[in-house]
Amino acid sequence: GDSVTQMEGPVTLSEEAFLTINCTYTATGYPSLFWYVQYPGEGLQLLLKATKADDKGSNKGFEATYRKETTSFHLEKGSVQVSDSAVYFCALSDPGTASKLTFGTGTRLQVTL
Amino acid sequence: EAGVAQSPRYKIIEKRQSVAFWCNPISGHATLYWYQQILGQGPKLLIQFQNNGVVDDSQLPKDRFSAERLKGVDSTLKIQPAKLEDSAVYLCASSLERTGWETQYFGPGTRLLVL
């Protein structure tokens, strides 16, 4: 079945550091890929998405490229801020299962001054 | 536009009791989802509605969980009787259409603690 594997957290970085959160997936078809973010005390929000191979999703300085050959969708940001502290979830939607989202376990990011 | 609304935000019950959660999706969104998020895990889909019909309930524990969306708008999720392992955050989400690339919008969730 479909699955998403994310790097274990927590990830602790100093402000302005470079961020990478690894995400790999297993799917039977050609899924759409998503990053959702959950800020403390808030609901899940879509951060970015990519719907086909080699697409790059981007938002708020975050980027992720859909790599079909390595089945990966790593999240990157060049310079993190304290306000980026949150839990980040990688997810996929397999067209064979309509719009059902399969999530990874989440990676907590803590950014310090 | 108003987001996905859920209530209550928190609920504490004893095992074997029943509990119900309510969700009102974004206006005009045909597809509604209920997810269960256990601490330290990613959300897991319990049930998906398209208007008032069930599309996928393959991971819903039907011996104790039920859900309905009678008028194709708001929805309720019920647990009866609750078990300790049902302690989790229950998330409701909605999307405009039921395509693989459609963005799902999530509510704030209901945090359930079963004692």
pLDDT in tens, A86-97: 999 999 987 766
Q: Residue B40 has what pLDDT?
A: 86
Q: Which residues of B touch A4 (CB under 8 A)?
A: 42
Q: What type of residue sits at position B63?
A: D
| Whether B40 and A97 lie within 8 Å, measured CB to CB | no
Q: How far apart are CA A54 and CA A44, in angstroms?
A: 25
Name which of B106, B110, B111 to mutate to probe chain A: the one with the most chain A Cβ atoms within 10 A of its Cβ. B106
Tokens of B76: 């309720």
Q: How far apart are CA A73 and CA A109, in angstroms?
A: 17
- Three-state SS across B89-114? EEEEEEECCCCCCCCCEECCCEEEEE
Q: What is the CA radius of gyration of chain B?
A: 13
CA nearest to A31 within chain B = B100
| Whether A99 and B102 lie within 8 Å, measured CB to CB | yes
Angstroms from B28 CA to nearest CA on chain A: 17
B109: left (phi over 0), alpha (psi -120 to 50) or beta: left
Q: Residue B101 has what pLDDT?
A: 67
Evaluate if residue B100 carries a pLDDT over 90: no
Nearest to B31 by CA among B89, B90, B106: B106
Name which of B31, B59, B103, B110 to mutate to probe chain A: the one with the most chain A Cβ atoms within 10 A of its Cβ. B103
DSSP assignment of B14-56 equals -TT--EEEEEE--TT--EEEEEEE-TTS--EEEEEEETTEEEE
Considering only the C-alpha atoms of chain A, give the largest distance between any 2 of them, rounded to a whole number of Å.
44
pLDDT in tens, A9-30: 899 999 999 999 999 999 887 8
Evaluate if residue B97 carries a pLDDT over 80: no
Give, rounded to a whole angstrom, the gap between the first and last alpha carbons of chain A: 41
Q: Chains A and B: how many Cβ contacts under 8 Å? A: 68
Tokens of B10: 């928190």
User: How distant, in Å, are the alpha carbons of A55, A71, B31 from that of A51?
Assistant: 7, 13, 19
Evaluate if residue A2 carries a pLDDT over 90: no
Say yes or no: A49 contacts chain B, CB-CB below 8 A.
yes
- If you average pLDDT over every residue of chain B, what do you get? 92
Q: How far apart are CA B65 and CA B46, in angstroms?
A: 9
Say yes or no: A94 contacts chain B, CB-CB below 8 A.
yes
Q: How far apart are CA B44 and CA A46, in angstroms?
A: 16
